[in-house]
Amino acid sequence: MEHHARKAVILHKITASYGKRTVLHDVSAEIPAHQVTALVGPNGSGKSTLLALLAGVHPPDTGTVHRHHRARPALVLQRSAVSDALPLTVRETVAMGRWSHLGPIRRFTKHDRAVVETCMERMGIADLAGRPLGALSGGQRQRALLAQGLAQESDLLLLDEPATGLDAASRDTMADVLAGLGAEGVTVVHATHDADAARQAGHRLVLSEGRLSSRPHNAAVAEEVPSATG
């Protein structure tokens, strides 16, 4: 039991499909609590599907998912998945992260508003709060979506390629934020093609054609994620 208490999620012999096509095969893994786990692997290897499974939005065909986190998982998708046409400001976008916390009359409390402001500050976008989401650069929009994920205050934060489109300074900010979340009791899992982000994570899972790799993590990361320095 003590062993399980330190895992946020335990996956046992999971298979998952789209229609008749099985894309995750016999995946067994443990997600350590209050740590950053990097999910790496080539395009199409099943990273997004595994994140969706951890989020509870893609059911497994077979196998079991044991959950030891408290809140509903927060899933932040790649920015390309979000329409540019949404008529929302940055603050409104981040505030959507609070929706699941609102009471029946859906009124924002002082606390909800403070969380929204803090999350914008953490992602360095407080000065963009009043700007329409569609008028931002790709990296700025990505940071707004990350702030929305943080605003959910879930203890399981799932991020699909959060570094995509971010400049070096924003990637550093994000890495600092992710590393700091563990101390706040948050478990982070992020899919990444970024070699530095994968190496910085305390734990790595390497997917290849829908299966977890049994190769040593460092060797697998070196192979799957091209070195930032070439």
Ligand X SMILES: Nc1ncnc2c1ncn2[C@@H]1O[C@H](COP(=O)(O)OP(=O)(O)OP(=O)(O)O)[C@@H](O)[C@H]1O
Which residues in this chain contact ligand X in the complex, by CB under 6 A?
A: 18, 23, 41, 43-49, 191
The least distance separating ligand X from the CB of residue 5, rounded to whole angstroms, comes to 29
Nearer Cβ to ligand X, position 23 or 90?
A: 23
Nearer to ligand X, 23 or 75 (CB): 23
The vertex-194 CA angle with 125 and 121, nearest 5°, equals 15
- The DSSP secondary-structure symbol of 193 reads -
Beta bridge partners of 7: 32
Least distance from C-beta 142 to ligand X, angstroms?
Answer: 15
Nearer to ligand X among residue 175 and residue 205 (C-beta): 205
Q: How far is the CB of 25 from ligand X (least distance, A)?
A: 11
Report how far residue 112's alpha carbon sits from residue 207's, in angstroms, rounded to the nearest whole number.
37
Whole-angstrom distance, CA of residue 19 vs CA of residue 23? 10
Q: Cβ of residue 216: shortest distance to ligand X, in angstroms?
A: 20
Q: Residue 103: what are its φ and ψ, rounded to 5°?
A: -75, -175
* CA distances (Å), origin 205, targets 151, 191, 214: 26, 9, 9
Task: Put the strands of the sheet holding 62-67 in their side by side order.
Answer: 21-32, 7-18, 62-67
Q: Would you say 155 or 160 has its CB closer to ligand X? A: 160
Instruction: Give the H/E segment covering residue 52.
Output: helix 47-55
Please report how close the Cβ of residue 166 comes to ligand X at its closest, in angstroms: 16
Contact (Cβ atoms closer than 8 angstroms) between residue 126 and residue 179? no
Residue with smaller CB distance to ligand X, 123 or 225: 225
